Amino acid sequence: MAHPSTPGRCARPSAGCSAETSRFAASPPPCRAAANPPQTPCCPRSTCAPRRRRVCECAPSLTPSSQQGPGSPLPVPAPHSLERALRHFSEPLTSLHPEPLEVRLSSRVLGSAKMPTGGSIRMREHMPRQILTLWLCATMTLGDLAQAAQTQQAQDVSPRLRGLLAALDDPSGQVAAGALRLLIKEKRVPDEQIPRLGRMLKDPNPQTRLDTAQALGVLGKAAKQHAPLLTGLLRDPDVSVRQAAAEALGAMGEAAKDQAPLLVDMLKDPDVNVRIAATFALREMGKAAQDQTLRLTGLLKDQHGGVRAAAVQVLVAIGKVPKEEAPHLGDLLKAPKESVRYAATQALGALGEAAKEQAPLLVGMLKDPDSGVREAAVLALGNMGEAAKEQAPLLVGMLKDPNENVSRGAAKALGAMGEAAKEQAPLLVDMLKDPDWSILIPALQALQAMGKAAREQVPRISNLLKDPSPFRRIVAAELLGHMGEAAKEQAPLLVGMLKDPNENVSKGAAKALGALGETAKEQAPYLADMLKDPNEKVRDAAVQALQYMGKAAKDQAPHLVGLLKDPEKDVRKEAAAALGAMGEAAKEQAPYLADMLKDPDEKVRLAAAKALSDMGEFDRKYAPLALELLENETVQYDYEAKGLLMTMAPLELQHVVLLLAKASANPWDRNDWLLCAHVTGGGEPPVERVLRWLPRRAFAGLPTELTLEEARETMHAFAVVWQHSGKYPDLRDDLAEQIVRVASLTKGQWTLTDDKLLVQHQTNLKASYPAHAERLQAIRSSLESWGRVKTFAWTWVGHLCFWLLLLFVYPRSPQVQAVFFWNPWVRTITGFGYVGLLLTWVPILRRRLLAPFANQLLADADLERFPKESYFHGSQVFIPSAGRSVPLLSAVPQLRGQVVLEGASGLGKSLFIRYLLRHSKQLTVFLPAERCREGVLEAIQAKLEGHAKDTAFLQSIIYSGALDIYIDGLNEVTADTRARIVQFVERNFHGNILLATQRMEWTPPITARLYVLQPLSDAQVSEFLASREVLLGEKARLRGPEYLQSCERFVQRVLAPEQPEELRLSMREVLSNPMDLTVIAQMLGEGHSPDLFRLRQQQYELMARDYLEVNLAEFPLNGFAEECHRMRLEDRPSLPEERFGKELLRLESFKIVVRRQWKGPDGREHREWRFRHDKLQEFFIAQALLGQGNPRIAQHMDDPRFRGVYFLLALLMDPESAHQLRDRLVVHAARTRDHSVSDEFVTLLEARRKSEQLLHAPPPRPQDDSDPSNKHGGGERVA
């Protein structure tokens, strides 16, 4: 039957294959797959091809590890030549102690997860250097990590682990996969990386899928959520991927039982490796795969022998082998084809004791002409154990089979029988004396496999220690080392053998003592005495024995210290290794080992370093030593020094440079060196930055953009690498290219502060890389040009920030105001000309500039005593252009454009202006018209200082509408002043300006909109009175419902229908004025009955009466009136408190004057008194003009400031004097052609006359029905 070939695996090596290769091939699938991939054949195809296939297929079930005891079949063929036998015994005891460095480290870390027991230095010859390096990195790194985990489970993330995590982001997928495998082996994979594994299983790159599947296999049950993803890989076109997926499912065990049907299908896979992996997976599932028993039984009849063998193995593992098939298998032993006989023999062996009835048939197979069938037969008999006891002598005879595989299999079969074959032990001991090596070696292996079953032969074996043949003495020592406690009494003999003149014998005895361990502990003092032996070889052997004994000989550590200064370098080296084998138990001797790091011999230094590492005392200060060892071209030193470096992570960047150089110079091992560089660097940012670019990174994996800070840090790291890379030309070439590339990526972003860094790199490149230096020079040239631009820009920004800071401080600092803003020369020079423009045209800066003057600009508005409730929102205005009336707040919600507000005194013009000022968010200024005698601009400038009062500045902000202007009392100024105001308004037609005036003869600005303020309607009178309740003073006696009822009764009385119409019109005119209505509300609240035609007089009389009660004196009306007259003449707004302090208090309580308090710049409190309204001041001024022949009447006819006083005189003077004044005003108007006063005076006087007539007329006579005239309707009606 033809079988598919198996490239890369040789499970049945012929004479041309080494024993180590055979043992390696017998390892379980995961180990074999990881250590020796299919691409690397272990031996020439010609030497192994004939029977390689059959044994490869059965190897997993018939080759247990050396850890298994008697009764477990494990074929380990023996060397067949003297040369191989000597080489075998010159190595450490493979099943005992110690293994090579990498195996020793992995054993220390991973415990039972050891390398196959036959591992040795020679194994490297059959393993790709790349895989071995990765394996070494794993064992060295995980060594210290596992030790740390044992001592401190909650320890923070180590630098090495950070390095591994950083390697996950390496541009090279192989480096990332290697790091991932190491992390998974450590079983500290972050949870966030698990989903990443699932994505990697679907990667288009088969190598990535393979690596990830193998990593999941190591993770085992922890990755069970990805078992369905592995199912897809079972059909992957790549053989290695399918194999790895099956092995990973096997590692998951029962957690992957849902995939068992697919694994059964894989038993028919054309590739033998895939079938082996599927078999392994199903075996690992154990009873969870029992549901597949029926299908597996059906495969026993498959035409392919490999499929049948795999089915049998699985059935054995799950405990469902159909015993009834044993006879059928016995019949197949007679088949003519060797492949069928081989498969049947293998199947019976798998059945074990259940097939004991077929044992005679198997005995017959021991003479089969095919060596493979003979080997399967001896292994099958060994599996039967006690049931095949009678065949044990035959197995002893098979030890002499010319085929080494058969003889090795017989030895293992005897070992598997254990106690059942112990009767054959004497015969095996006798065979040790045979001069034929092909007989001696299988006997040795058989006795080793039998273990305790051969302990009765210890005395006979110990006799061989005196055999004249050095080889037999070595064999005896090795066997005694296997006997454990049974050979305790022979330990002194082994100590004596250390002085054997044959070096191999003494080493064998040392290994045997080490294998005995604690059993030979009592011999340690004797070994310590031998350390003083003058013979170098004796001392060396004693040291090796103590080394192999390890911690069992820890009490002898002080004696070993003396040998650290032995003149023989080999003794010094072995002494250091012995101390290292004792681990932390010999930690006190670490200082002596540290001194050895200066030993002239490189091997001695390496041994001391490894010993310190085993003790946990090898830290970063010894990094130069490890680097020195790494410089050596010896491959062994590479591995060992690399491992030492990784135990010291994190190392500084200069120590990682050598690893970069190695990666650059060795493209085949590049990924391994990179992974070790990540780990050694501990994930530190400088190291990771360099590893993004070096060494020899593919262009597609390089960054395409960098931040300036990242580029700067990278260039600093490159400078460190350059400083330490002089001995590595390949790394220098790559580094030079990357320096220019990083500099170019951030071209245009470099600053002048980076020029020193760029100059440093340019200087470094100039000698050997002139072209690269020129490219850096070009970047620096653009930097200088750009630097000048940036310097100018930053200068301008700094200058701007300086002025912004001044603006921030400006409102609060008089010094800043005076020096920088109010001084035109300083402002122009230090402001470079543009500051003045910005202050003029930027709105926020304009507001800031005028901020210190905000109070001054609105000082005349006296907003502090303007409560929001004082404004009545129901006022109406008439729009002449539209011919309709609208609410004032709808017509002018905010000042936009130019507005003229016209209305009679007291209708609320000033209150409306204050209302707008209070709610305005613009820059605003309030000006009484009397302040504009010299012009509006001049009046504003009088309130400002510095640049703010600059004419051009003010003109620009007014014209652009940036400053809202409110001018009140236009009717109280001369015609010239009004003309200046009108001219100013028309010139600034884009500005926002409001003019308030009483009705008069004048020409408003043609650019302004006219609004005529209307008196209150009857309905609004009651509403207005009700709204004044909140403004009533402390003297108010009526509030709430009582006040509202009083207001309602008052309005009903004065506007009653029975009142004469003309009287009602006169009263309505008074009531429609909000100013007068406010006084009425105050009187009603205090319980008085207002006299509509004598409101001012009545208000004064109430105040004077109160003044008399409080001060017991009459109110000084004449003196106070004179003072008010002088105030109007002098345009003085406030009353002198020093003269009229008591009077002002009474006037304040009756709402005639108001008090204003503020704090000046000097911090002192200030206070002033003002009249609440011009009408109130005019009442007292009128008192100064009353009197027969008072000359002041004629003096003020041309003064518009006294216009309201004349209107009040029409109501206060006696009728005769009022008529005389009327005549004089009419004449004056005819002469000056100014009728603004005379016409209004005549109107008011006529209204007074009619009101007085109505008030003094007798009430109408009641109508008499008996009057004849009424009866007949012909008489006149009596008024």
pLDDT tens profile 919-942: 888 889 999 998 898 999 999 988
Tokens encoding 1140: 């009229």
**With contact defined as beta carbons under 8 Å apart, do 659 and 671 qualify?**
no
Mean pLDDT value of segment 35-53: 34
- d(Cα 728, Cα 735) in Å, to the nearest integer? 11
- List C-alpha distances in Å: 885 to 179, 1012, 1070: 88, 9, 21
Q: What is the pLDDT of residues 1020-1047, one digit of tens each?
A: 888 888 888 888 877 788 888 998 899 9
Nearest partner of 656 among 630, 618, 635, judged by Cα: 630
- Position 522 confidence tier, pLDDT thresholds 50, 70, 90: low
* Fold for the domain defined by 853-1014: Rossmann fold (3.40.50)
Strand partners, 1167: 1157
- d(Cα 166, Cα 675) in Å, to the nearest integer? 10
Q: What is the pLDDT of residues 774-802, one digit of tens each?
A: 999 888 887 777 667 777 888 888 888 88
CB atoms within 10 A of CB 797: 11
Task: Find out if CATH 3.30.465.10 is the number for domain 192-321.
Answer: no
Strand pairing report for 1009-1013 and 876-879: antiparallel
Is pTM beyond 0.85? Reply is no
Q: What is the pLDDT of residues 527-580, one digit of tens each?
A: 666 666 777 767 667 776 777 777 777 777 787 777 788 888 888 888 888 887
**Highest-scoring range by mean pLDDT, 67-81, 184-198, 1162-1176:** 1162-1176
**Structure confidence at residue 769 (pLDDT):** 93
Bond before 558 cis per omega within 30 degrees = no
Range name among 451-460, 1117-1126, 1163-1172 with the lowest pLDDT average: 451-460
DSSP class per residue in 397-434: HHTT-SSHHHHHHHHHHHHHHGGGGGGGHHHHHHHTT-
Q: What is the pLDDT of residues 81-99, one digit of tens each?
A: 333 333 333 333 333 333 3
**Highest-scoring range by mean pLDDT, 435-444, 460-469, 582-591, 618-627:** 582-591
**Structure confidence at residue 879 (pLDDT):** 93
**Structure confidence at residue 748 (pLDDT):** 78
CB atoms within 10 A of CB 259: 24
- List C-alpha distances in Å: 1059 to 1090, 1196, 1257, 1263: 17, 39, 12, 17
Cβ-in-10-Å burial (0-12, 13-18, 19+) of 347 comes to buried
- Position 56 confidence tier, pLDDT thresholds 50, 70, 90: very low
**With contact defined as beta carbons under 8 Å apart, do 689 and 717 qualify?**
yes
Q: What is the pLDDT of residues 843-881, one digit of tens each?
A: 777 777 777 788 888 888 888 778 888 888 889 999 998
**Structure confidence at residue 947 (pLDDT):** 65
CB atoms within 10 A of CB 880: 11
Q: Which residue has the higher pLDDT, 308 or 266?
A: 266
- Domain locations in the chain as residue ranges: 192-321, 703-800, 853-1014, 1186-1258
Q: Is the pLDDT of residue 423 over 90?
A: no
Q: Is the pLDDT of residue 26 over 70?
A: no
- Position 21 confidence tier, pLDDT thresholds 50, 70, 90: very low
Q: How much of the chain is in helix, strand and coil states, percent to nearest 5?
A: 70, 5, 25
Strand partners, 902: 997, 1012
Q: What is the pLDDT of residues 658-679, one digit of tens each?
A: 888 888 888 888 888 888 889 8
**Structure confidence at residue 49 (pLDDT):** 32
